Copies of this chain bind each other. A is one copy, B any other.
């Protein structure tokens, strides 16, 4: 979390001037986004009242290539009443612009806060919002491959090496080897696919009380197995923050909330334990890689990879499969 680029008031005012949103009133760099810089902007607005926006500057080239997908998806979903922020287009109707060679986009500000200790009612609402997004994205014409698929997990974990993994936890090298082999052999190839968020952690959901006011941070969104997104969201929401304890009430509520909007097909449900193992491996992979490549004294907080090793163990336990209605 960082603001990588410093923009003075004059520059920010120039940038805002490219959009029909009124005059700049306030700008605060906000501590969101792992690889981009973000500001919460306030302007005088165009209808007498003030207006607020998130200005995002993309620091990495790879993201720029995908901006038509990411930003187009927001517009597509917002037009279908999904709780996602709209992209504000500039006076020439462009969804993003360049400043000093870096791409930037102006995004609608949405109210709401990210919960850290969700209730079942909140999990139910998130499940519903995820299903709504899956349905609304069905006719989105752009596509993007999942850059964090099984082959990426293998590459990241290979980059850690057995010794590196053992330094995190002695059990990790064997667990990773065994589970990657299992996932390679058992990853489903015939489930319905579509646009998925792929990173719907509580941090990426804004809530007002029991309602979802915003799904945000679509920068891992891609085309992949729809039920994998359910598994990612399940892994992200249904365990204690330390990854230790599974919360059955949250799990039931999340799945029921999803099914109230889009039925989970029997073949999807049957694969949820495998997809959950994959989801846990995906975050284990990035966390282990970051753990070994971030100095222990860096300002960035390293996230414990073992929280997802424990979730992986949960999904791999046959006794837990029944809970998903899987045979």
- Give chain A's interface residues, CB within 8 Å of chain B: 1-3, 6, 8-13, 24-32, 40, 42, 111-117, 206-208, 298-301
Query: Can you pick out 11 interface pairs between chain A and chain B where the beta carbons lie within 8 Å of each other?
Result: A1-B29, A2-B31, A13-B113, A24-B113, A27-B113, A28-B30, A28-B31, A29-B30, A29-B32, A30-B40, A298-B298
Smallest CB separation, A10 vs chain B (Å): 5
Q: List chain B residues, Cβ under 8 A from A2.
A: 31, 299
A24 to B209, CA, bound (A): 10
Q: Which of A9, A114, A206 has its CB near the most chain B CB atoms (within 10 A)?
A: A9
Q: Is there an interface contact between A28 and B8, defined as CB atoms closer than 8 Å?
A: no
Q: Which of A3, A11, A12 has its CB near the most chain B CB atoms (within 10 A)?
A: A3
Number of copies: 2
Q: List chain B residues, Cβ under 8 A from A26.
A: 111-113, 206
Interface residues of chain A: helix, strand, loop or mixed (majority): mixed
Since A9-B114, A26-B111 are in contact, a sample of 15 more A-B pairs with Cβ atoms closer than 8 Å, ordered by chain A residue number, is A2-B31, A2-B299, A10-B115, A10-B117, A11-B116, A25-B112, A25-B113, A28-B28, A28-B31, A28-B32, A29-B30, A29-B31, A29-B32, A31-B31, A42-B111
Contact partner, A111, options B25, B207, B208, Cβ 8 Å: B25
Q: A13-B113, A42-B111, A114-B9 are in contact. Are A30 and B27 (CB under 8 A)?
A: no
Contact partner, A8, options B8, B116, B208, Cβ 8 Å: B116
A74 to B325, CA, bound (A): 60
Q: Is there an interface contact between B3 and A31, defined as CB atoms closer than 8 Å?
A: yes
Contact partner, A115, options B8, B206, B208, Cβ 8 Å: B8
A26 to B108, CA, bound (A): 14
Residue of B nearest to A208 (CB): B25
Residue of B nearest to A54 (CB): B28
Residue of B nearest to A41 (CB): B113
Residue of B nearest to A25 (CB): B111
Q: A29-B30, A298-B299, A300-B299 are in contact. Are A3 and B3 (CB under 8 A)?
A: no
